[in-house]
Amino acid sequence: MSLSVTDLTFRYGRRQILDEVTFDVASGQFCALLGPNGSGKSTLVKAIAGVHRPASGTVTVDGTDTATLGRREHARVVGYVPQHGDAPFDLTVREAVVLGRTPHFGLAPTTQDWAMVEDAIERMGLGDLAERSMSELSGGQAQRALIARALAQDTRVLLLDEPTSALDLRYQIETLQLVRQITREQGISALIAIHDLNHAARYCDQVVVLHGGHILTDGTPQEALDAPTLRDVYEVDVEVHLREGVVEVRPRIDEHGYTLTGSQIGSLADAHVAFDPADEPVGARR
């Protein structure tokens, strides 16, 4: 059982953004949604989250069409961390995180609800900030609070729209590790829109590349992140290596330290770099 997106088409007015997008994220899988700026990642995540109503197509979770769910029921099934957080500024961090539990409790949170709130706060490293007002947080701290709120929501599907963009390196890594762990432990499906190809390759089980309103590739990081595809999609000359079993993408640089970009790469012939046969130590090529 899983998240299934089938033939999803979306338009802003008359402008088509998504054209019959189809892919699945199985239970226990952490999927990266990649694509250049403006390729429609946020739009797709919002359509899956129920924020946008697609022109056609379906989103099902464990076989249930999410369009048939009431608001509260939907919120028990699908959790969503938006790219630009709607941080509730007049609340403390703890109060903001307990909002994630509202689809689950009646008039007031139960002991179990509070336990899940505390767990989410701790897991996102917000223990010392729990009584702070959301308005006093840094951008990254507020982003972590919004992720904690989604974790407390305890849904079958977790959607994250560039949740690590404001986080420092430690919290980027910890957040991605945590989502991967939760995804596996709880058998949920997680989808993250993300720009960092190497983080996607390291922490995600599946990579979906969105380009021109279509899914261009969908597979394991090794299958989906190949140099010709990335050059076409991002218009940057890259090389792709396999190091210690993990795909690593690097811009290629010439002898002057420059990378070919945009129309310059149009003249490149076919793929010139495949996976390194040997898993090289980090510093070997630097």
- Interface with ligand ATP, residue 41, by CB under 6 A: yes
Q: Choose between 18 and 134: whose C-beta lies nearer to ligand ATP.
A: 18
Choices 38-46, 103-111, 184-192, 241-249 (CB under 6 A): range interacting with ligand ATP: 38-46
- Interface with ligand ATP, residue 37, by CB under 6 A: yes
Choices 36-44, 114-122, 229-237, 268-276 (CB under 6 A): range interacting with ligand ATP: 36-44
- Interface with ligand ATP, residue 105, by CB under 6 A: no
- Interface with ligand ATP, residue 164, by CB under 6 A: no
- Interface with ligand ATP, residue 137, by CB under 6 A: no
DSSP label of 285: G
- Interface with ligand ATP, residue 43, by CB under 6 A: yes
- Interface with ligand ATP, residue 82, by CB under 6 A: no
Q: Which two tokens stand for residue 34?
A: 């990649």
Between CA 188 and CA 29 the distance in angstroms is 7
Query: How many residues belong to the site for ligand ATP (CB under 6 A)?
Result: 10
Give the E-state strand segments of 76-143 in sequence order.
78-81
211 to 230, contacts with ligand ATP by CB under 6 A?
none
For ligand ATP, which residue of 29, 39, 172, 183 counts as binding (CB under 6 A)?
39
Q: Are 229 and 203 in contact (CB under 8 A)?
A: no
8 to 27, contacts with ligand ATP by CB under 6 A?
12, 17
Q: Choose between 33 and 97: whose C-beta lies nearer to ligand ATP.
A: 33
Q: Choose between 92 and 143: whose C-beta lies nearer to ligand ATP.
A: 143
Q: Which two tokens stand for residue 100?
A: 């994630």
Q: What are phi and psi of 137, to 5 degrees?
A: -85, 155
For ligand ATP, which residue of 42, 92, 189, 229 counts as binding (CB under 6 A)?
42
Given the rule CB under 6 A, which residues bind ligand ATP? 12, 17, 35, 37-43
